[in-house]
Structure 1
Amino acid sequence: MQARVPAEKLPDSGTGPELIHAVPEAHYPETVNVVSELVDRHVEDGHGGDPAIRFSGYDDNPDISFEKGVISYADLQSRVNRFGNALSDIGVEPGSRVLVRFPNRPEAIVACLAAQKIGAVALPSMKLLRAAELKKIVNDAGVSHCVVYDELLEEVEKAMPELETLEEVVVADRGAGVEHDHRDYDGLLDGADDDLDAYETERDDLALMLYTSGTTGEPKGAIHTHRQVLATADTFARYCLEPTREDVFGGNPPLPFAYGFGDLVTFPLRFGATTSLVEDAKPADLLQAVEDHGITVLCTVPTAFNQILSAHPNAAEEYDLSSLRAGMSAGEPLAPSTFDAFKEEFGVTILDGIGTTEMLHIFISHRHTDEVDPTATGFPVPGYECKVIDPDTEEELPRGEAGLLAVRGPTGIAYWGRQDKQEEAVVDGWSLPGDIYVHRKDGRLEYKSRHDDLIISSGYNIPGPEVENVLQELEAVSEVAVIGSPDEERGQIVKAYVVLEAGHEPSDDLVEQFQTHVKNTLAPYKYPRAVEFVENLPRTETGKIQRIKLREQEQS
């Protein structure tokens, strides 16, 4: 075990997930360091000159000393080695938790990889977190060091009087004009040796720690080992996307989002491909990055795909998108109407996948060579097994019946210091991500809802996302969230929160149109008995709708 990882913070014996390694690529030697596989191996194989990172923000940041916004694998290795040595010099030890707080910038990747290379645990932090939230995470994880972008320092400093374990803060000054007396990122980088051998981590040593986004309550620390990080690339990416060195992965999921870390760090670097980073990317920025960087695999969330379609209807003529070969969507279910519209407009198939912070990345998806059925998430990713169980008896249900999803594979749910949640989340070695699914007779798995998003009205079980998908088909609907609202007679009623497209105004006629459309498409008891028009929906930083906030609003 790594020196600074307290055993009491790991799941008790017998409560962790049963890990299986059903594909040959997911077998790793006893000692393996993720950075040796993601960076060093490519340099040793003669690919040091290949582009590892393309970054769109270099024009505004002249202090970043790489030509035309490109970092080669050799340059990335040098930066990682130098910063790894610098971290060791200021007291980071094997097992130390290092908080990394940046938008999508190269320094974030360098800091995470440097920590992992010296045997520490990288803990990327969402940039919008406030001091109170940072305090909970830093103290819970026992963070010893923090590497932070200057614009994001303020909340760290606000929290510092209550941070129990933080020893050092390193700040990347990038022109925000923030005065501080902390260590300087560039000074440490410039003054360090670029020769560094990877620490001999065991494959089950911790490499990455991520906190859940809190869509369903209090964030929890999810822990991942060196081989689990590699396994996400060697299962989903390898089999469903089949990347090559010529691929360029790009998108706007934040790096501290498990989905973003996989898409923009693990996947491209595992295969010697390139990652495209755009700081705080809006839909137009993504389209420009596809043209500028030659993005081949566009990774984002359903909201962004919808925004591209609605805000940039002539994107195919305005931008050169010819490099795109596939899209990836996760975070929330992708509506079939979005899938169809994007394929019609751009000729690109979007692979919708389900993954969680706890499972680290996608474990159900179609492959890019499949005939994709947008009404289903897809098949278990090679290397994973899935079954649908009765939530009360835990017995496997027959095909076609809705129940709780159970998953087993090379990754699984393991919480940091939350034995109570650990025992709820893993049953007989199977991880329970908390989703309601139907295992169809054709082998595909069809998403119904989060377990806590299931609406029970007059004894009927109604998956909120199913109603959302039907409402999303209507021209007037830009975004929608469906929840259960308390009702004395029925227990709950279906309520839809709707953001309208430009040019449409709230009206009783629209409400009636929505209700009729749902009645004509689904079982009539699933129609929304209440509709509320809103300007926007509450979301996490990763773009997920926070239905818990809507439910709390209804309760109050």
Structure 2
Amino acid sequence: MQARVPAEKLPDAGTGPELIHAVPEVHYPQHVNVVTELVDRHVEDGHGDDPAVRFEDDELSYAELQSKVNSFGNALSELGVEPGSRVVVRFPNRPEAVIACLAVQKLGGVALPSMKLLRAKELEYIFNDSGATHCVVYDALLDEVENAMPNLETLDDVVVADRGADVEHDHHDFDDLLDGASDDLDAYETERDDLALMLYTSGTTGRPKGAIHTHRQMLATADCYARYCLEPTRDDVFGGNPPLPFAYGFGDLVTFPLRFGATTSLVEDAKPGDLLDAVENHGITILCSIPTAFNQILSAHPDAADEYDLSSLRAGMSAGEPLAPSTFDAFEDEFGVPLLDGIGTTEMLHIFVSHRHDGDIDPSATGFPVPGYECRVVDPDTMEEMPRGEAGLLAVRGPTGISYWGRPDKQEDAVVDGWSFPGDIYVHREDGRLEYKSRRDDLIISSGYNIPGPEVENVLQELDAVSEVAVVGAPHEERGQIVKAFVVLAEGFEGSDELVDEFQNHVKNTLAPYKYPRAIEFVETLPRTETGKIQRIKLREREQE
């Protein structure tokens, strides 16, 4: 029986992605529920005592996680959550968020994790656009939900996890619901193409879009990228600081570890030192984060390898923004493990281009198409495939693809002839690797030359004086645009004309001279999204003004 979702909100057959299932692991049965595969199967196979979740000094076994998911699922069912219901889950990285999302999905509902910094106006749009009927929320994040409630059209009930924020409310209590419900729950018999997860884009180029994902697409991210590029075992511990409502974070810290019977390490609002503590205390083997956080670890804790027991680490994952080769080299030199750069999007759910952990990693390229995916680099005007070595627009096809909730206008732009277009400029090299150039919006056109901003950033990042950098095109009467760099200086350095000359000459001596930044501005901070990505669009808008 199909879970109940409005058909008009789903892409039609002509505009949806063509999904291909090229590796044997993604051939799932017609009926499959992701929670059966992530939790119940391990208990049934005799691994109920294995650790599933570590948080602070606590640990949940797979049997305990199953019990809590079942209890909360029964409680939600009593509150009216049914197959197809959209449920907003609003937490920092805590076990309650994992329990709530899995409980919703086990009932055949659609989990909708929400970024914790969203304000009432943003929440109002997401609730009403998705038609969410229920919300499960951390007490410290309740205020913005309540501020939005007078304008919410479909919300029926709110469940609050009281964890010491001393917030007065008259909503359902998370713990009371858990304690008062049976821990016996059979998974709803979802079909593999029923929706399981909805994630909203950041909305940096307009109103946010709901990206929708099915039960088998969630499993496919683990059975393609994680299985082939990371090769997890039950002994692995995944940890890091990507937020769970970030597609990258949900995969790293929920889908991947639970798919393979491994352990997830959750750290609430983790700073660099908190991540190093978690590696030591939780035994993290695969550390997942974004380039900014890896740079912060290297900067704030230069002697980390001596101060912490990091012997458990075997690999790192990086996504969210391009990983500079200098960061790759510095991290490997300091910690002795490689960082796997990867490109994935909210819409594609997880990484589809990467190296493998035990392969020949070239940090100047993102890597190869992940097993199960195909990639082409095409001319954006003709859609003809570009010759090897020439830049073009990346097209992707695999077991996941771009599908928007109720946005036929955006759907037509994002999928052409079944291929998904994430919006990135790449070069397909002769060696088969895909080399990132820029987001399509980040390509700078100056005096007729196409200049990828991230390429200039990577070169500037090599300098000791540079802590962080963002490069954008600034309007120029004669050249159309010029390359402008916004630089956050490392501790101990001060901006000067001499430093500007040094930066410009370094780029001229490393790249084609026309790519050097003709303008450099020293700033205290760079604008970022909640997931840590640099918001170059804000810098471009500022330059336009």
Tell me the TM-score normalised to structure 1 length.
0.97
Q: Could you list the per-position Cα deviations for residues 319-341 of structure 1 after superposition, in whole angstroms to 9, with x for gaps in the alignment? A: 00000000000000000000000
Give the Cα–Cα distance (whole angstroms) in 1 for the partners of residues 150 and 499 of structure 2: 52
SS at match of 1:139: helix
Give the Cα–Cα distance (whole angstroms) in 2 for the partners of residues 2 and 303 of structure 1: 42
Q: Partner of 1:19 in structure 2?
A: 19
Q: Partner of 2:295 in structure 1?
A: 306
Q: 2:196 aligns with which of 207, 212, 218?
A: 207
User: What amino acid is the match of 1:357?
Assistant: T
The answer on 1:160 being equivalent to 2:121 is no
User: What amino acid is the match of 2:37?
Assistant: E
Give the Cα–Cα distance (whole angstroms) in 1 for the partners of residues 11 and 497 of structure 2: 53
Q: Partner of 1:74 in structure 2?
A: 63
Residues 235, 383 of structure 1: 8 Å contact kept: yes
User: What amino acid is the match of 1:253?
Assistant: P
Q: Which runs of 4+ in 1 moved over 4 A?
A: none
Give the Cα–Cα distance (whole angstroms) in 2 for the partners of residues 175 and 10 of structure 1: 40
Q: 1:429 aligns with which of 418, 436, 440?
A: 418
Q: 2:115 aligns with which of 122, 126, 139?
A: 126
Q: Partner of 1:29 in structure 2?
A: 29
The offset of 1:469, in angstroms, is 0.2
Give the Cα–Cα distance (whole angstroms) in 1 for the partners of residues 446 and 2 of structure 2: 50
Q: 1:341 aligns with which of 311, 330, 348?
A: 330
User: What amino acid is the match of 2:10?
Assistant: L
Q: Partner of 2:275 in structure 1?
A: 286
Q: Partner of 1:414 in structure 2?
A: 403
SS at match of 1:178: coil
The answer on 1:46 being equivalent to 2:35 is no
Q: Kindly report which structure 2 residues correspond to 1:471-486, keeping only aligned pairs within 5 A, or say none.
A: 471-486=460-475
Q: Partner of 1:146 in structure 2?
A: 135
The answer on 1:237 being equivalent to 2:226 is yes
User: What amino acid is the match of 1:343?
Assistant: E
The answer on 1:532 being equivalent to 2:521 is yes
SS at match of 1:493: strand
The answer on 1:515 being equivalent to 2:504 is yes
Residues 279, 310 of structure 2: 8 Å contact kept: yes
Q: Could you list the per-position Cα deviations for residues 222-265 of structure 1 after superposition, in whole angstroms to 9, with x for gaps in the alignment? A: 00000000000000000000000000000000000000000000
User: What amino acid is the match of 2:118?
Assistant: L
Identity percentage over the alignment?
Answer: 83
Relative to structure 2, which stretch is displaced further, 307-316 or 208-217? Answer: 208-217
When residues 340 and 215 of structure 1 are mapped into structure 2, their CA distance, relative to the original with a 3 A threshold, is: farther
SS at match of 2:509: helix
Q: Structure 2 unaligned runs (5+)?
A: none
Give the Cα–Cα distance (whole angstroms) in 2 for the partners of residues 477 and 421 of structure 1: 38
Residues 215, 545 of structure 1: 8 Å contact kept: no
Q: Could you list the per-position Cα deviations for residues 193-215 of structure 1 after superposition, in whole angstroms to 9, with x for gaps in the alignment? A: 10000000000000000011234
Q: Partner of 1:295 in structure 2?
A: 284
Cα RMSD for the two superposed structures: 0.7
Give the Cα–Cα distance (whole angstroms) in 1 for the partners of residues 518 and 5 of structure 2: 51
Give the Cα–Cα distance (whole angstroms) in 1 for the partners of residues 384 and 270 of structure 2: 45
When residues 537 and 2 of structure 1 are mapped into structure 2, their CA distance, relative to the original with a 3 A threshold, is: farther
The answer on 1:97 being equivalent to 2:50 is no
Give the Cα–Cα distance (whole angstroms) in 2 for the partners of residues 529 and 162 of structure 1: 48
The offset of 1:218, in angstroms, is 2.7
The offset of 1:3, in angstroms, is 4.5
Residues 3, 108 of structure 2: 8 Å contact kept: no
Give the Cα–Cα distance (whole angstroms) in 2 for the partners of residues 165 and 545 of structure 1: 34
User: What amino acid is the match of 1:117?
Assistant: K
The offset of 1:369, in angstroms, is 1.1
Count of residue correspondences: 545
Q: Partner of 1:259 in structure 2?
A: 248
The offset of 1:14, in angstroms, is 1.0
Q: Could you list the per-position Cα deviations for residues 426-475 of structure 1 after superposition, in whole angstroms to 9, with x for gaps in the alignment? A: 01000000000000000000000000000011111000000000000010
Q: Could you list the per-position Cα deviations for residues 472-493 of structure 1 after superposition, in whole angstroms to 9, with x for gaps in the alignment? A: 0010000000001111111111
Residues 3, 190 of structure 2: 8 Å contact kept: no
Q: Structure 1 unaligned runs (5+)?
A: 57-67
Q: Partner of 2:457 in structure 1?
A: 468
User: What amino acid is the match of 2:497?
Assistant: D
Give the Cα–Cα distance (whole angstroms) in 2 for the partners of residues 330 and 83 of structure 1: 32
Residues 316, 340 of structure 2: 8 Å contact kept: yes
Relative to structure 2, which stretch is displaced further, 10-19 or 212-221? Answer: 212-221
Q: Partner of 1:63 in structure 2?
A: none
Give the Cα–Cα distance (whole angstroms) in 1 for the partners of residues 475 and 125 of structure 2: 32
The offset of 1:93, in angstroms, is 1.1
Give the Cα–Cα distance (whole angstroms) in 2 for the partners of residues 164 and 509 of structure 1: 58
The offset of 1:217, in angstroms, is 3.6
Q: Could you list the per-position Cα deviations for residues 123-170 of structure 1 after superposition, in whole angstroms to 9, with x for gaps in the alignment? A: 000000011110111111111000000000000000111111111100
SS at match of 1:31: coil
Give the Cα–Cα distance (whole angstroms) in 2 for the partners of residues 384 and 184 of structure 1: 43
Tell me the TM-score normalised to structure 2 length.
0.99
Residues 29, 203 of structure 1: 8 Å contact kept: yes
The offset of 1:371, in angstroms, is 1.0
SS at match of 1:353: strand
Residues 217, 548 of structure 1: 8 Å contact kept: no
The answer on 1:377 being equivalent to 2:366 is yes
SS at match of 2:5: coil
Q: Could you list the per-position Cα deviations for residues 337-385 of structure 1 after superposition, in whole angstroms to 9, with x for gaps in the alignment? A: 0000000111010000000000000000000111100000000000000
Give the Cα–Cα distance (whole angstroms) in 2 for the partners of residues 466 and 3 of structure 1: 46
Give the Cα–Cα distance (whole angstroms) in 2 for the partners of residues 142 and 403 of structure 1: 38
Residues 98, 145 of structure 1: 8 Å contact kept: yes
Give the Cα–Cα distance (whole angstroms) in 2 for the partners of residues 346 and 12 of structure 1: 48
User: What amino acid is the match of 1:25?
Assistant: E
The offset of 1:13, in angstroms, is 1.9
User: What amino acid is the match of 1:392?
Assistant: D
The offset of 1:2, in angstroms, is 4.2
Give the Cα–Cα distance (whole angstroms) in 1 for the partners of residues 85 and 527 of structure 2: 34
The answer on 1:135 being equivalent to 2:124 is yes
Residues 215, 544 of structure 1: 8 Å contact kept: no
The answer on 1:438 being equivalent to 2:431 is no
